[in-house]
Structure 1
Amino acid sequence: MRHSIATVCLSGSLEEKMDAAAEAGFDGVEIFEPDLVVSELSPEEIRARADRLGLTLDLYQPFRDFEGVEESVLVDNLRRAEERFRVMNRLGMDTMLVCSNVATATVDSDEVSAAQLRRLGELAASYGVRVAFEALAWGTFVSDYRRAWRIVELADHPAVGTCLDSFHILSRGHDPSAIEQIPGEKIFFVQLADAPRLSMDVLSWSRHHRLFPGEGSFDLVGFVGHLVRAGYTGPLSLEVFNDVFRQTDTLRTARHARRSLTWLEDQAARERGDVSQLTAIAEVQPPAGIDYVEVKAEDTSAVETLLGQLGLTFRGQHRTKPVRLWSAGDVRIVLNEQHARDQAPSVAGIGLQVADAAASATRAAALGVRPVPRRTQEGEQVLTGFAAPSGLEVFVNDHDADAEPRWVEEFEHGGAPAAAPFTGVDHVNLVHTWSEHDEAVLFWTSLLGLQAPPQTEVASPQGLVRSQVMRSSDGAIRLPMNVAPATTATYPEHIALSCTDIVAVASAARARGLRFLRIPDNYYDDLRARFGLAEDHIEELRSHDLLYDRDAGGEFLHFYTPLVGRVFLEVVQRDDGYDGYGAANAPVRLAAQRRHQS
């Protein structure tokens, strides 16, 4: 199928939006009328620009408040429409979106609305134009796509069809299966948008909170399946109103948008098992585990001290780069001082183990994900890398459960791997800006097939933190993503290591000189009240500055190291199927870190 995007999705001028859409790989654009009105280019110049860029101009939109009106109002509406048709002829466009009336409708009659649309169709046909009637979710009388289609049927004119918008259909909870009862040739256009589930009026929800496919809660894969079964062969087009996208870089958003359509079409093709109309790309390779986590800084010595105090082993210096490796069991932490002038310690990269790294690279290329090379010399392993929206470098490596990764052999003059109480990297907590978050969700879901459970909110001394965990279905990969408060320039990230005996780890770390975050006595009084823990258990937790949580599955114990630069470490012990992250303890940790730094 062809792919289009409404210019309302993007920031900038009409010219910039068209350039970005073409660069991102779209086939066409919808012209949002306000973008045309403020442009200095004439319709003829816009048409010529589209030709040069290889773009089609697919839809002129929106034409508002037409049907369900008295005759005197209709006459003026037809006058307005004719002016638009003249402009469309100059643009070389042949389809106009007509939204159901929300302001001037006074006649609640399908027959009247159909007769008026028929008159509009006659006028449109005289200009070689078609009109696509759309039911707005907040339309005065017509708010259901099924009613809009009945009116189009009654109009019975070749120049009158319908436009289906996923937001208007799915936000109202309407069953999209009836799409299959509409002849494909009468579906003149399709607009797609995802959205989170929110409890608010549908107009505000639509105007401010739409998302690109794969980022919200709507079943757009099923929606596209209904379109294909109906015989629709026109463009899949994005119409996303969102306060973030209207402020972010135009080209970056266009690429983000194009990736969402590639993902959606791939998912729909796989669900149908039919790629005659839909294009599938290389199959997703879900990560089986975390290969390594990279911390980068001009000076990583303070991080090395923490790792040694926790019981990790120094495995050596890379033979060609200023990079060192520390490990314990399946935990591998890479410390990188390369090209890091004036940089404080932060999480800079993550390695993931997959079944087929080459297939992941092919899928990434199809999704338009920016590759990141690993500079290698002779004899060094070549790893496939991609840039996440935050700049995090993600490398994938073919998984071998029975051996250490081959790249470990590139580190020299270190100690042999020793038995350790750590079982692996439990999770890596990442930070994004508010403008990167939705794009990051799509990156992890579309490229690596991670799931995105609902968001949570955590109060911190700096403000409210929005958090969403990206995870594999089996929990082998857990990547909590935090949106930092706008009031703070930097917000910490951390690496959580899992173990089977956290008391032993904490005791040994304290003996090696680790300075624990001091957890206040009030916290343990609160634990006693909330969970009814035995007094000796409370005292054990208090003596090691351990935090505690419990859910229906089991128990969770954890502690944190002090913050070094923008990164700290966490040690966790999950018992009896506990599946959370101790979110209730996050404010305690944040306050303790703040005291520790003051």
Structure 2
Amino acid sequence: MRTSIATVCLSGTLTEKMQAAAEAGFDGVEVFEPDLVATPASPEEVRALAARLGLSLDLYQPFRDAEGVSEEEFGRVLHRARAKFHLMQRLGIDTMLVCSNVGTATVDDDEVSAEQLRRLGDVAAEHGVRLAYEALAWGRYVDDYRRAWRIVELADHPAVGVCLDSFHILSRGHDPAAIEDIPGAKVFFLQLADAPALTLDVLSWSRHHRLFPGEGAFDLGAFVGHVLRTGYDGPLSLEVFNDVFRQTDVHDTARQARRSLTWLEDLVGTRPLPPVGEPVAFDFVEVRAEDTGEVDVLLGQLGFTFRGRHRSKDARLWSEGTARIVCNEQHARDRAPTLAAVGFEVPDPAASADRARALQAPTVYRRTLASEQELPAFRAPDGTEVFLAPVASGEAPWVPEFGGGQEPGPALLTGIDHVNLAQPWQAFDEAVLFYSSLLGLVAESSSEVAAPNGLVRSQVVRSATGACRLALNVAPLVSRDGFPQHVAFRTDDVVAVARRAIDRGLRPLAIPANYYDDLMARFDLPADEVEAMASLGLLHDRDASGEFTHFYTATVGGVFFEVVQRRGGYDGYGAPNAGVRLAAQHRG
């Protein structure tokens, strides 16, 4: 199917928006009237630019307050409409979005609204224009697409149809199944937007918090399925009002928007992609810095074995169980330690790479010798490099590229439990779509944690099995070294790991005595057990399914580590302890 995007989705001028939409691979655009009014380009110049860019101009929008009005007011509506229809002829646009009346409606009568749309349709037809009537979620009388369709049926005019907008339908909780009762020929346009689950008035929700498909809580796959079953053959078009998207780089946002439609097209089967290769394990995590020496020390204290230096790169490998950490000092001048890359074991790296390219994920290129394992890699919205590795039955095939180290012994750490990645505020929603569309990771419900300098927004995306979990966090205020990120390692004996680490010189993150007093109150734990936990810097949580005990290291640059032990069916991350950890890190 053809794809389109409303210019309101993007930052910049009208011409900049059109150029970015074309570069991102859209087939057309909806022209948002304020964008046209503000441009110095004439309608003819806009039309010519669209032709040069290979874009169709699919919709002129919005035309407001058209129906349900007095006869005197409707005369003014016709005057406005004639001017807009003439403008549309100059632009070469044949479809106008007509929103249900919000401001001037005084007559709550479907017959009156239908009669006025019929008369408006007569004028539109004289100019070669169609009217796509849309029920706004906050319309004064018409706020339900089913009522909008009844009015269009009553109008019974070939130039009058409906526009279906996922936000206006799903935000009101209306059942989209009745869409299939509308003949496809009368569905003149389809607008798509996702949104987070919020308890908010629909106007504010719509104007500030819409998202691209796959980034929110709406079931857009089912919604589009209903529309396609009508026989609709127009474009899939995005109309997303979002404060962040109107500020971010127009080209980046356009690519993000196009990726969301590519994902949706795959979901509904109109343009299938190579199948999702859900990761079965973490392959490695890379820490990059000009000097990773302090990270080496932390890893040694936690029990990792130094496996050697890479044969052609300035990088070192540490491992314990299936957990592998690469410390990379190549191309990292003046850089403090950060998490730079995450490797995932996937069933078919080549197919996963083909899917990533189809989704326009930026490719990462690293110099690799002929004798070295080449892993396809792509850049996430926050800059993290995501590597796709084959599933390994034992040691990863690239490990022999590191030499001069030691052979690992018995392991107390069994693998990587989860990776925590800090996200720029403008990349948070895109990151969720990136990991879900490329790797099939599923987003859990988001949460907010109080930190000394504000709220930290957190969103976990994970594989269905829980083998790979990413915690994506947006901090309210970054420190001079950036908001810290971390890797959490699994163990079956967190007490033994903590004791071994302390014996080797580790100083766990300092946890205040008040926390342990509260712990005894919450869980009725024996005083001697809590005292032992305090001596090791251990934190604890419990739910109906099981228990979770963990500790943190100090932060080096922008990186720290966590060791976790899960018991029973506990599937969380110690959320009640996150605020304590953030406060302790704030103290330094």
**TM, length-normalised to structure 1:** 0.97
Match for residue 385 of structure 1 among 362, 373, 377: 377
1-side partners of 2:468 and 2:41: how far apart? 50
Cα offset for 1:399? 0.5
What is the aligned length?
587
1-side partners of 2:377 and 2:367: how far apart? 11
Partner residue of 1:577? 569
Amino acid at match of 1:171: S
Please show how residues 166-245 of structure 1 align to structure 2 within 5 Å: 166-245=166-245
Cα offset for 1:462? 2.1
Amino acid at match of 2:484: P
Partner residue of 2:144? 144
Q: Does 1:560 align with 2:552?
A: yes
Structure 1 window deviating more from structure 2 (94-103 vs 452-461): it is 452-461
Match for residue 528 of structure 1 among 515, 520, 523: 520
Amino acid at match of 2:194: D
2-side partners of 1:130 and 1:175: how far apart? 27
Partner residue of 2:280? 288
| Moved >4 Å (runs of 4+) | none
Please show how residues 410-449 of structure 1 align to structure 2 within 5 Å: 410-449=401-440
Partner residue of 1:476? 467
SS in 2 for 1:557: strand
Amino acid at match of 1:247: Q
Could you tell me whether the CA contact under 8 Å between 1:374 and 1:384 is conserved in 2? no
Cα offset for 1:298? 0.2
Match for residue 445 of structure 2 among 428, 448, 454: 454
SS in 1 for 2:443: coil
2-side partners of 1:156 and 1:427: how far apart? 58
Cα offset for 1:224? 0.8
1-side partners of 2:454 and 2:105: how far apart? 46
Cα offset for 1:261? 0.4
Partner residue of 2:117? 117
Structure 1 window deviating more from structure 2 (72-81 vs 529-538): it is 529-538
Cα offset for 1:326? 0.2
2-side partners of 1:57 and 1:205: how far apart? 27
Please show how residues 246-265 of structure 1 align to structure 2 within 5 Å: 246-265=246-265
Cα offset for 1:488? 4.2
What percent of counterpart residues are identical? 66
Cα offset for 1:551? 1.1
Could you tell me whether the CA contact under 8 Å between 1:136 and 1:142 is conserved in 2? yes
Partner residue of 1:39? 39
Could you tell me whether the CA contact under 8 Å between 1:556 and 1:573 is conserved in 2? yes
Which string of whole-angstrom CA distances, capped at 9 and with x for unpartnered residues, describes residues 502-560 of structure 1? Answer: 11111111111111222111111000001111222212211211110111111111111
Could you tell me whether the CA contact under 8 Å between 1:295 and 1:333 is conserved in 2? yes
Cα offset for 1:419? 1.3
2-side partners of 1:420 and 1:175: how far apart? 54
Amino acid at match of 1:342: D
Q: Does 1:134 align with 2:125?
A: no
SS in 1 for 2:19: helix
Partner residue of 1:586? 578
Cα offset for 1:487? 5.8
Which string of whole-angstrom CA distances, capped at 9 and with x for unpartnered residues, describes residues 326-356 of structure 1? Answer: 0011010000000000000000000000000
Partner residue of 1:363? 355
Cα offset for 1:594? 2.9
Cα offset for 1:61? 0.1
SS in 1 for 2:510: coil
Amino acid at match of 1:362: D
Partner residue of 1:519? 511
Partner residue of 1:92? 92
Structure 1 spans left out of the alignment, 5+ residues? 270-277
Q: Does 1:311 align with 2:327?
A: no
Amino acid at match of 2:459: Q
Partner residue of 1:547? 539
Match for residue 406 of structure 1 among 392, 397, 401: 397
Amino acid at match of 1:71: E
Partner residue of 1:273? none
SS in 2 for 1:406: coil
**TM, length-normalised to structure 2:** 0.99
1-side partners of 2:277 and 2:373: how far apart? 20
SS in 1 for 2:229: helix
SS in 2 for 1:435: helix
Cα offset for 1:375? 1.5
1-side partners of 2:477 and 2:514: how far apart? 29
- Say what the alpha-carbon RMSD is for the aligned residues: 0.8
1-side partners of 2:543 and 2:190: how far apart? 44
SS in 1 for 2:257: helix
1-side partners of 2:236 and 2:490: how far apart? 45
Cα offset for 1:378? 1.8
Partner residue of 2:333? 341
Which string of whole-angstrom CA distances, capped at 9 and with x for unpartnered residues, describes residues 28-85 of structure 1? Answer: 0000000000000000000000000000000000000000001110011001000000
2-side partners of 1:209 and 1:405: how far apart? 43
Cα offset for 1:113? 0.5
Partner residue of 1:23? 23
2-side partners of 1:46 and 1:23: how far apart? 17
Cα offset for 1:374? 2.9
Amino acid at match of 1:569: F
Partner residue of 1:272? none
SS in 1 for 2:566: strand
Which string of whole-angstrom CA distances, capped at 9 and with x for unpartnered residues, describes residues 358-393 of structure 1? Answer: 011110111111111232012101101000000000
Could you tell me whether the CA contact under 8 Å between 1:462 and 1:488 is conserved in 2? no
Amino acid at match of 1:115: E
